[in-house]
Structure formats: structure tokens, C-alpha cells
Structure 1
Amino acid sequence: MLAALTVSVFVVGTSEYLIAGLLPQVADDLGVSVATAGQAVTAYALGVVIGGPAVTILTVRLPRKGLAIGLLLLFAAGNAICALAPSYEMLLAGRVVASLSHAAFLTLAMLLTTQSVAPERTGTAIATVASGFAVATLLGVPVGVLIGDGAGWRAPFAVLTGLALAATLLLALVLPRQEARETRVRDEVRTVTRRPVLLVIATTSLVMAAVATVFTYLAPTLTRISGFGTTAVSVLLLVYGAGSLLGGLIAGRLADRSLGATVRGTIAALSGVLALVPLAAGWKASAVVVVLAFGLLASTTTPTMQSLLLKHAGSAPTLAVAVNVCAFNIGIATGSMAGGVMVAAGGLRWLGLAAAVLGLGALALTSMTEGLFGHRSDLNFGTRSLIIEAGRHE
């Protein structure tokens, strides 16, 4: 089951940034500017942030297997609309339709994952499923762009539609039938408004903003500051992606052993590496080292923060997980925007310092999260009640 969920997360994850590499083709074909075509990325992000929690709360009482299949079919339909879109407006519509399933499906995948393993393996299981997203960044998007270059920008969306349908069939075969827990909407809302949950969500957003501030402009940093050629930059980005995949899996295992220490340690280490970027970027050898370290730490947020959120969400975690998924996207958008402002002002080399400040802010928030520094930070405490509660309603 975990393998099927990982594959499905890979398919959904590929969609978010796929169009970013196809913007010139989309603009030429649909008769719009590249800047206008780029709003298809924004439309998807807005659909995730706004529509994700709404879809999640509306479907919280539906059987889990049927919901997973339905969300993937909605995702497939959105990408089919993109592949066939006769106009820019229809392309936007397809992107929004696909985005509505994004947060809700990732939320469901995380919850199904935690309910299928023993409490002491929750962090590892979340990291395994989340690795589908890392692989999407590492391979899915570049391969999609290659397909688009050879067969036109519509082809990757057609392929993604086919993959979504195949993933739907796979889930239909392997997911066990499971009724939704008898949770009430007001319980879900009350969970989201708890102080520890809000702090975890805010921490997630700050950490992702720190990562995005540097990563969004990593390529120009490596070419303009470090002096690498475009081919070398492509290789370094693959190194970053491979490190990101490995780092997430390692963080998941560490979270199972000591969640609080892993959260604090990874955020502190990430902040330190980001602070070194301006110095390390001046030499090629040190730039390679810092890119690898950055990759190893950048993806540790997913398993650690999702595990921490589940610890505090108790028996009504669905909406909280969905909002936390949205927090990832909000953080990415915020970091990219902040980085853009600095780059426009000539501060490309100093992005790491700004990102480190954001990271330290996230570290400060973790100290305010109830129970993080006490014995209750052990993951088993939080997830055991969640899984026991889930079992009562299956």
C-alpha cells in the first residue's frame, strides 16, 4: 500500500511545477505573453491553498478508499483539460480543477500512511510516501519538459493524465476498504485553532520560505557567483535533488527515535548551512559541498513537521494536515517573492543570510510548541491516540 501511495504522490507532485518549464511553448501556442502563461503556476498554487482545505473538510466523512480514487480521477480530469485546452482560459480552468485534489489527496495519503504502520514507524512511513514528491522534483519535472520539447507542451499533460488513471487503478486494487472516522467538522476546526497546531503550521511555512528563498535562485547563484556553466549547474541540481530524497528518508527514521530532537536539529542545521551560502558560493569546491548539504536538509521538513503535527492534532487531524500542506505552498511562494525582491535589489549573493533568519525564526517557534521539549515529544505518545481512535471507527 505504501508503494502505491508513493507512486500516486509522485504523479500529483509532478503536476505542480511541470508547466514552469513549458511556459514559452504555452505562450506561443495560446497567444499570450510568457508572464501571462506563468499565471498557470499561480492558479494552481491558489487552488491548493484555497480549495485544498475546503475540499478536505467537505469530504472528511467519506470512505477513505472511495475518496482517494475520486480525488485522483479529479486530478486526471484537470490534466486532461490542460492537454486539450483550446484557450488560455481553459488551461487555467484545468489547472484549478487539478489543484483542488492536490492538498486533499496528500492529506489523505499521509493519514492512510500513519494508520497502516506501527506508531514507532510513523516518521519513516511519512518520509517514504513523501519521497514521491522529491522524485517528482528530481525526475518528473525534467522528464516532462523533455517530452514537451519533443512532442509539444500538451504531451506531458496527456502523459500525466494516463499516469493518474494508472495510479487510480493501482489504489483501487491495493487500498483496503476503510470508513471515515466519525469526526465532526467542528472538531476538525477546533483542532486547527489549537496553539500547538498553529505553531507547527507557522513553523512549516517559515522553514519552507527559508528553503525557497535560496533554492528558487540557486541556478543563477551558481552561474553568476560561483562561475559554473549551465551543464554543471544541471548536474548540481540533480545532486541537490538526490540529497533531498536521501535527507527526507533519514529524517523520517530519526523522527521515529526522537521527534523533538530531530525537529530542532534539522532546522538548526539548515539555518547554519543557509548562513554559509554567501561565503561558500565564492568558490566552486565549497559551493558543491554547500549544495549537497542544503539538499540533505531541505526536505527534512516534510516527515518531521507532519509527524509533529499529528502528535498535537489528536483524533481529528484531517483538516490540520491539509492546512499544513497549504503552509508548504505558502512558504514556497513567500520565499520566492522575498528572494525576488532581494535579487532585484542586487542581493543575489546574500539570499542565504535572509533565509537563515527565517530558519532561526522557525527554530524559535518550535520552542513555543507545547510539549516539544518534554517527554511528550516522543512520537509514540501522539500517534498512538490517533491510531487507536482510528481503529474504533473502522
Structure 2
Amino acid sequence: MSQIAPGQQTLDQRSQSPVAADTSSTVRRWAIIALALGGFGIGTTEFVAMGLLPNIAESLEVSEPTAGYVISAYALGVVVGAPLIAALTARMSRRTLLIALMTAFTVGNLATVLAPSYGLLIVARFVAGLPHGAYFGVAALVAAHLAGPRHRAKAVGQVMLGLSVANVLGVPAATWLGETFGWRSAFAIVVVIGLATIAALVRSLPSLSDMRVTNPMTELGALCRAQVWFTLAIGIVGFGGMFAFYSYLNSTLTTLTGLSVSLVPLALMLFGIGMIVGNVLGGAAADRNVTLSILGGLIMTAVALGLFAALAQNPWAALILTFVVGVSATAMIPALQTRLMDVADDAQTLAAALNHSALNIANAAGAFLGGVVIGAGYGYRAPSVLGVFLAIAGMLVLGLALLQARFSSGRQPTVGGVATDLEM
């Protein structure tokens, strides 16, 4: 196992300043809660539209497939906004940037509430999606900075926890509001969450003046690093299987498992609880070893999806494995986010933001490929089987990443100054 060369510092050690080190645990705790609250709002607005498509279509007098472009517009905003905003705002204070991003997010959702026509609603959803990736990327960097090198992945997981909690609490509550008082009320509650997050960020975030800022050209340098692309590919391929599974979970449980429609929300809640558990466990695991955390998550995802495909007709097994898939897939997020921050060197903001572009690409690709295998006549077991192969493909990409790192450096690759522990 190779060691760090004498006098060499990890990126975390270089960026760790006395201000960060002296930040009290109370300040760190409230700052991370504020950051996670923003994640809760983002997760709520991202997923609530899926459950309200019939309401949106009826209200705007368009077909449900046409209304589905509302979801696509938001996802496109995420993919476009993450790299663009991260590069163009490289010189901004991280505190100011986070507040500005949450303000833009809130304005986009307010525009959604007020949109008088389908065309303007599409524009509003695109605008609301633009800050998504950049917010999570910068929030992850800030959380890691405040927590310090030993607990940075755990802090990243805590920020992402807001996204997971949204699936358990925010989305069901907003969906109920939308069905009861009209779909616009669901997005109105997101506006309230956005305003609360802005107030929380203003009150709880320290100045963060000790965090280094860069410039657009430095940030764009992340796109020239092979390890950044490898890590993004792991997320796109590895998570594609989870999204293939999740996109058709409702139909799988009612058609193949035989659950009543009334029990499907319970399964979705179990998946959301699994996501919460996965974030917590994944953050702790990544602080021990980033590479093994990613590998373990991919292996666990492949096994869980394989078992689900084999046992889906058993209701109890299907429900338990739905929870396990939520745990295994989400456990990789803190590790992937941390690995991107490590391999990007000075271009951390862009790399961290790109993680969420990659996950949205995985979302779209997984849903598409799942539909392809179902449409080919393989049935509702097929998306889970597809997910197994995609998780295995993610392991292969990880292996290629480690090989490339070894050959390019001439020694065993390290992640965040810690050896991978994978002897190649």
C-alpha cells in the first residue's frame, strides 16, 4: 500500500483552514440542517410532478404524455444548469452562491405556481431545475469543509438526507395538497420551503471566507480529467439500474406481485426510508474508504435487484427487497460525491455539481431502458434484471477507473490521500 509522499498534502488538508477547524459543532450542525432543508425542497419539487401529471394535464387541457414534458423540462434544467452555473460562479463566495441558488430555485417554483399556460409552465420548470445540481454540489463542498477530512463524507450524506426525506414526507404531503387543493398548491408549499431555506442559510451559514474560490477556466479543467469522467460514468451506469427498477415499481407490484393499489404507497415509503438509511450508512462507510463504499453499494444493488427479480411474486419478499434496493443504491451517493471532489483537484465545484447531472441522466436512461425491455415482451421482472447488469457494468467502470489511475500515476491510486486498499 503506497503512502503519501513526504510533504505532500491531500486536497482536504490544503483547503482546511483555522476558521474551518475552529467552527463550533453547533454552527456546523445548524449549517448542515439548513443545507439539508434545501435538499428537502428540491427533492419535493423534483418528484411531486410525477404524481400530479393527470391533474396538470386536465388543468392545462393537454394530454398526460404532453404534460410529462414538465418533468423532462426540470431534468433538462438540472443537466444544463449544474456545469454552467458551477463554472460561471466560480469566483463567488460559497455562502453568497448558496443563498443565490436557493433564491433562484424559489423563484422558479413561484413561476410554476403562477404559470398561466403550458408553454410558460415548461419554461418555469426548466428555470426551477437550473440551480438543482449546482446547489447540491456547492452544499456538499461546504458540508465537507465544515466537517473536516475525517467526517466529510458523513456530512455530505447528511446534506443529501434532505433529498431522501423528501421521498418519505415531502412528496406524499405535497401530492395530497395537489390532489386536494389543485396541483399549484403542491408547488406553493415548495416555495414556502424555499423561503424557509433562504432564511436558514442566511442565519446559520458562517462566512466561509476561508473556502478557496477559483475561476471559470480552472473549474472547466475538471472536464479534462479522466477520473472525473470515470466517476460520472459509474453514477450514470450504476444508478441506471436503480431507476429502471423504481420507474416501474408501481406496475411491478400490482401486476407481478399482486399487491393492491392501496399498498403501493407503503412500498414507496419503504423505498424512501431505505434511501435515508443508505445515506447515513453510506456517509459513514465512505469516510473509511471511498472506493470500497462504491464497490459495496454496487454489489449490494446487483444482489438486491437479482433477488427482487427472483422473488417478486412473494409480497413480503418484494416489500423487504424494495427497502434494500433503496438502501444499497443511495449508499453510493456520498462516496461518489466525495470521489468527485477528490479527483477534480482544484475544480471541485464543477465536478461536485456534475454528479447530479449524471444522476439525472441515469434517471432518464434507466426509465427508458426499463420501458424498452418491458415493451420487448420480457415483463415487469425485466427492469430488475436489467438493473443487475447495469450495476455489474458500474463495477467494471470502477475497475477501469482504478487501472487508469494506477497507470497514469505509476503507483497504487489514492483517494483523498487514503489508499484504495484494492490491490490490482
Structures share a fold, TM > 0.5? yes
Amino acid at match of 1:315: D
Indicate the residue corresponding to 1:192 in structure 2: 223
- Who is 2:384 aligned against? 352
Counterpart of 1:298 (choices 323, 329, 336) is 329
Paired amino acid for 1:64: R
Deviations 1:245-280 (A, max 9, x none): 102211110111122222111111211221222211
User: 1:138-175, CA deviations, whole angstroms, 9 ceiling, x for partnerless residues?
Assistant: 22111111001111111111121121111101101111
Residue 121 of structure 1 and its aligned partner are, at CA, apart by 0.5
- 1:162-215 CA deviation, whole Å, 9 max, x = no partner? 211111011011111234634232222222321111100100111110100111
**Secondary structure of the structure 1 residue equivalent to 2:151:** helix
Name 2:401's counterpart in structure 1: 369
The corresponding residue for 1:82 is 112
Q: Which residue of 2 aligns with 1:220?
A: 251
Q: CA deviation at 1:231?
A: 2.0
Aligned twin of 1:101: 131
- In the alignment, residue 60 of structure 2 is paired with which amino acid? L
Which of 273, 285, 293 is 1:242 aligned to? 273
Match for 2:189 among 159, 165, 175? 159
CA distance in 2, matches of 1:377, 1:131: 27
Query: 1:304-383 residue pairs with structure 2 within 5 A?
Result: 304-347=335-378, 348-370=380-402, 376-377=413-414, 379-381=416-418
Contact 2:342 2:348 in 1 (8 A): no
Residue 254 of structure 1 is matched in structure 2 by 285
For residues 74 and 167 of structure 1, do their structure 2 counterparts lie closer, same or farther at Cα, with a shift above 3 Å needed? same
Q: 2:317 aligns with which of 286, 300, 303?
A: 286
- Counterpart of 2:28 in structure 1 is none
Aligned sequence identity (%): 32
The amino acid across from 1:116 in the alignment is L
Q: Secondary structure at the match of 2:276?
A: helix
CA distance in 2, matches of 1:80, 1:286: 42
CA distance in 2, matches of 1:293, 1:116: 31
Unaligned runs of 5+ in 1: 383-394
CA contact (8 A) 2:256 2:312 kept: yes
Is residue 93–residue 213 contact of structure 2 (8 Å, CA) maintained in 1? no
Q: What secondary structure is seen at the aligned counterpart in 1 of 2:280?
A: helix
Residue 305 of structure 2 contacts residue 387 of structure 2 at CA under 8 Å; is this kept in 1? yes
Aligned with 1:183: secondary structure? Answer: coil
Partner of residue 74 from structure 2, selected from 44, 57, 60:
44
Q: Which amino acid counterpart does residue 183 of structure 1 have in structure 2?
A: T
Which residue of structure 2 lines up, in the alignment, with residue 68 of structure 1? 98
Paired letter, 1:307? T
Tell me what 2:87 maps to: 57
Residue 227 of structure 2 aligns with an amino acid whose one-letter code is P
**Residues 204-256 of structure 1: per-residue CA shift (max 9 Å, x gap):** 11111010011111111111111111122221221121112102211110111
Instruction: Find the residue that maps to 1:120 and give its secondary structure.
Output: coil
Residue 130 of structure 1 is matched in structure 2 by: 160
The two structures have a TM-score, normalised by structure 2, of 0.86
State the superposition RMSD in angstroms: 1.8
Task: Give me the whole-angstrom Cα distance separating, in 1, the residues matched to 2:106 and 2:294.
Answer: 35
Which residue does 2:233 correspond to in 1?
202
Q: What displacement does 1:339 show?
A: 0.4
Q: Is the 8 A contact 1:256 1:379 kept in 2?
A: no
Contact 2:86 2:219 in 1 (8 A): no
CA-CA distance at 1:380 after TM superposition: 5.0
Q: Is the 8 A contact 1:278 1:350 kept in 2?
A: yes
Match of 1:183 among 211, 214, 222: 214
Comparing 13-22 with 200-209, which one deviates more in the overlay? 13-22
What is the match of residue 141 of structure 1? 171
Cα displacement (A) at 1:117: 0.9
1:28-73 per-residue CA deviation (whole Å, 9 max, x = no partner) reads 2212111111110000111111122112211111111111111111
Counterpart contact for 1:258–1:377, Cα < 8 Å:
no
Counterpart amino acid of 1:356? V
How far, CA to CA, are the matches of 2:290 and 2:81 in structure 1? 30
Distance 1:341 1:246 in 2: 31
Gaps of 5+ in 2: 1-30, 420-424
Q: What does residue 42 of structure 2 align with?
A: 12
- The Cα of 1:381 is off from its aligned counterpart by 4.4
Q: Residues 308 and 317 of structure 2 are in contact (CA less than 8 Å); yes or no, is this contact kept in structure 1?
A: no
Distance in 2 between residues matched to 1:2 and 1:305, nearest whole Å? 19
The answer (yes or no) to whether the contact 1:119–1:380 under 8 Å persists in 2 is: no
Q: Secondary structure at the match of 2:381?
A: helix
For residue 140 of structure 2, the aligned residue among 86, 110, 128 is 110
Closer, same or farther: CA 231–260 of 1 in aligned 2, 3 Å: same
TM-score normalized by the length of structure 1: 0.93
Contact kept, 8 Å, 1:200 with 1:366, in 2: the verdict is: yes
In structure 2, the residue matched to 1:150 is 180
Task: Tell me if the contact between 2:144 and 2:155 (Cα under 8 Å) persists in the aligned partners.
Answer: yes
1:26 aligns with 2:26: no
Deviations 1:67-121 (A, max 9, x none): 1111111111111111111111111121111111111111111111111012010
Residue correspondences, number: 382
C-alpha separation in 1, matches of 2:385 and 2:323: 18
Residues in 2 aligned to 1:123 and 1:300: alpha-carbon distance in whole angstroms: 11
